[in-house]
Amino acid sequence: MEPVIAAHADWVGEALGIELMTPSSQSLARRLYRALRGWIQSGRLASGSRLPSSRRLARDLGVGRNTLLEAIEQLVAEGFLETRPGAGTFVADLPFGRGEAVSEAAPSEAPEAALSARGERLLRFCASPGDHHAAFAPGVPALDRFPHELWQRLLKRHQRDAPEAWLDYRTQGGVTALREALCDYLRLSRSVRCRPEQVLVVQGAQQGFELIARMLSDPGDVAWLEEPGYGGAQACFDAAGLEMVAVPVDGEGLDLKRVPPGQAAPRLIYVTPSHQYPSGVTMSLPRRLALLEAAETHGAWIVEDDYDSEFRYGQRPIAALQGLSEAARVIYVGTLSKVLYPGLRLGYLVLPEALVAPFRRANARLHREGQYAVQAALAEFIAAGHFSRHVRRMRDCYRQRQALLRRALAPAVARGLALSEGQAGMHLVAWLDDRDIEQALVRRAAEQGIGLSPLSGYYLTPPGRPGLALAESRDRAGAAETPRDKHV
Ligand SMILES: Cc1ncc(COP(=O)(O)O)c(C=O)c1O
């Protein structure tokens, strides 16, 4: 109870001050009386709360102490307040509320949520509150395997040693050590062309997509997106007012020959070439070259989302599309959400030189930079080799889990179930012949408390090809507690 009382003592003076700012024909004492009585009756000032001393209150409010005492004495006389000699003035023990928070307005009085048309449309890409995708929900790493203790130690040290400059507003694109570490990693393991100056640290890939859409397109511009594709990117581009054109994906990735005819030239082209989400396809070299050429022809920017390329089993990692292009029309988007954990909210863009300064400025204005100590801890995590060790461990773990899932599905495969090819990533796609079967499986699983992700959720123009995206990365216990976005 103590903290509630102390908190009340703090806000009463400020709240009364605000009350007195409104012009009124009533006397000051009357207004103070009415405000205090209203708060007691509504339960905002709970039974047992102690008021600040009348001397302090009068001084804070800039009113005479006698004026204040007049209001308080009236409330004491009516039984709302009681004075305890030597202790102060307290809210009497009344049935209006005993310290529990009381909402300002009853739900029935709350205004209706009048969302904008954009807000309403955006919700189509978002989970409903009760949606829980459990064991097979794609997109989330095995969180129980993250080296929490080591990470906490690094975090604590970097928080403690944070220089004063990190407390300020900054526009450097992120902590230098992290931009350097990421740059080394990307050059070596992903063949990305970059200098540390080109790296802009953002709060996850999602924020990167938003920034790209806002900085490089106007409402009504066209964006080409993979079909089926990633709901997070679809939501961002839709919210930015882009005309989204779904371009089908086949066994070689995005098929430009199937761009619907009669479309304006694209401004943005969003792709996941290393491991198409969700189909798992790797974009072939001819398709990559065709895509780069198309971007050049249309003056479009390619958004390369390289979200989980660390996890390839058997095959050699595929170099990033960005590294293939001299022409600098590719913005490379990376995330730490898969390789470390999504709650970290760290991702990065590798920007063509011409975009570095405008993106830094806009990011610092729209989203603000921050989390420098976390960034510094991550830089050390990478530089000291913990990152690559963790990646190796997780690669082993997901390879084994994927093999297990394939083994478990082998009887169904023998009966004709088609599983996504390739040995990569943290999920598989099971293609089904029939939408009814897909829906029946989703229902049956839900009855057992298991969430399944039907492929229709990944299509901009549903229903699309029936199937399920099945993650193998999570254990059931950990997953069940986590509410998830619809098409993560
Ligand atoms: C295809 C794809 N890209 C990017 C992301 C990562 O997004 P973020 O960095 O915002 O967590 C995800 C996460 O689910 C994803 O599936």
Bridge pairing between strands 453-454 and 253-254:
unpaired
198 lines ligand 1 (CB under 6 A): no
How many Å apart are CA 368 and CA 350, to the nearest integer? 18
Structure tokens at 341: 């954990």
141 lines ligand 1 (CB under 6 A): no
Helix (H) or strand (E) holding 42: helix 28-42
CA of 208 to the centre of ligand 1 (A): 10
Residue nearest atom 3 of ligand 1, based on CA coordinates: 307
C-alpha 333 chain-centroid distance: 15
CA of 329 to the centre of ligand 1 (A): 21
3-state SS of 177-191 is: HHHHHHHHHHHHHHC
pLDDT value of residue 478: 43
Structure tokens at 388: 């690559």
How many Å apart are CA 355 and CA 360, to the nearest integer? 8
Decide if 245 contacts 257 (C-beta within 8 A): no
Q: Positive or negative, the Cα torsion across 451, 452, 456, 458? A: positive
337 lines ligand 1 (CB under 6 A): yes
277 lines ligand 1 (CB under 6 A): yes
- For the CA of 488, the nearest atom of ligand 1: 14
- Paired with 418 in beta bridges are 431
For residue 306, give Cα distances in angstroms to 96, 333, 350, 462.
57, 6, 11, 25
CA of 285 to the centre of ligand 1 (A): 24
pLDDT value of residue 471: 87
- For the CA of 233, the nearest atom of ligand 1: 3
Cα three-residue angle 428-291-238, rounded to 5 degrees = 70
pLDDT value of residue 422: 77
Which residue's entry shows tokens 């399944």? Answer: 452
Q: Positive or negative, the Cα torsion across 218, 220, 222, 228? A: positive
CA of 125 to the centre of ligand 1 (A): 14
Structural domains of the chain sorted by starting position, each given as residue range(s) with its CATH number in brackets: 2-91 (1.10.10.10), 127-140+389-480 (3.90.1150.10), 159-384 (3.40.640.10)
- Paired with 249 in beta bridges are 254
pLDDT value of residue 7: 57
Decide if 32 contacts 68 (C-beta within 8 A): yes
How many Å apart are CA 360 and CA 133, to the nearest integer? 36
pLDDT value of residue 326: 82
453 lines ligand 1 (CB under 6 A): no
Q: Report the candidate in 168, 174, 166 with the shortest Cα–Cα distance to residue 356.
A: 174
Decide if 250 contacts 256 (C-beta within 8 A): no
Backbone angles phi, psi at 254, to 5 degrees: -55, 130
205 lines ligand 1 (CB under 6 A): yes
488 lines ligand 1 (CB under 6 A): yes
How many Å apart are CA 354 and CA 350, to the nearest integer? 11
Pocket mutation for ligand 1, best pick of 182, 270, 332, 338 (most atoms within 8 Å of C-beta): 338
How many Å apart are CA 468 and CA 461, to the nearest integer? 17
- Paired with 388 in beta bridges are none
Helix, strand or coil, per DSSP, at residue 246: strand
Which residue's entry shows tokens 């830089």? Answer: 379
Structure tokens at 254: 């995005």
pLDDT in tens, 363-405: 999 999 999 999 999 999 999 999 999 999 999 999 999 999 9
pLDDT value of residue 107: 55
- In the DSSP assignment, the letter for residue 196 is G
Strands (E), 214-278: 222-227, 243-250, 253-254, 266-271
pLDDT value of residue 482: 40
307 lines ligand 1 (CB under 6 A): yes
Helix (H) or strand (E) holding 159: helix 148-160
- For the CA of 139, the nearest atom of ligand 1: 14
Neighbours of 316 (CB within 10 A): 6
pLDDT in tens, 132-185: 555 677 888 999 999 999 999 999 999 999 999 999 999 999 999 999 999 999
Cα three-residue angle 136-140-141, rounded to 5 degrees = 105
- For the CA of 278, the nearest atom of ligand 1: 1
Cα three-residue angle 309-277-369, rounded to 5 degrees = 65
Q: Report the candidate in 198, 170, 190, 194 with the shortest Cα–Cα distance to residue 354.
A: 198
3-state SS of 411-430 is: HHHHCCCEECCCCECCEEEE
Task: From first to last of the 488 residues of the chain, give the pLDDT tens digit.
Answer: 444 445 566 788 888 888 888 888 888 888 899 899 888 888 888 888 889 998 988 998 889 999 999 999 888 888 889 999 889 999 888 877 554 544 555 555 666 778 999 999 999 888 765 555 556 778 889 999 999 999 999 999 999 999 999 999 999 999 999 999 999 999 999 999 999 999 999 999 999 999 999 999 999 999 999 999 999 999 999 999 999 999 999 999 999 999 999 889 999 999 999 999 999 999 999 999 999 999 999 999 999 999 999 999 877 778 999 999 887 899 999 999 999 999 999 999 999 999 999 999 999 999 999 999 999 999 999 999 999 999 999 999 999 999 999 999 999 999 989 999 878 899 999 999 999 999 999 889 888 878 888 998 899 998 899 999 998 756 544 443 343 444 44
How many Å apart are CA 430 and CA 447, to the nearest integer? 20
Which residue's entry shows tokens 């305890």? Answer: 84
Q: Report the candidate in 292, 270, 306 with the shortest Cα–Cα distance to residue 185.
A: 306
Number of Cα atoms under 13 Å in the Cβ half of residue 316: 6
pLDDT in tens, 62-75: 899 999 999 998 88
Rg over CA atoms, the chain: 29
Peptide bond into 111 cis (omega under 30): no
Furthest C-alpha separation in the chain: 90
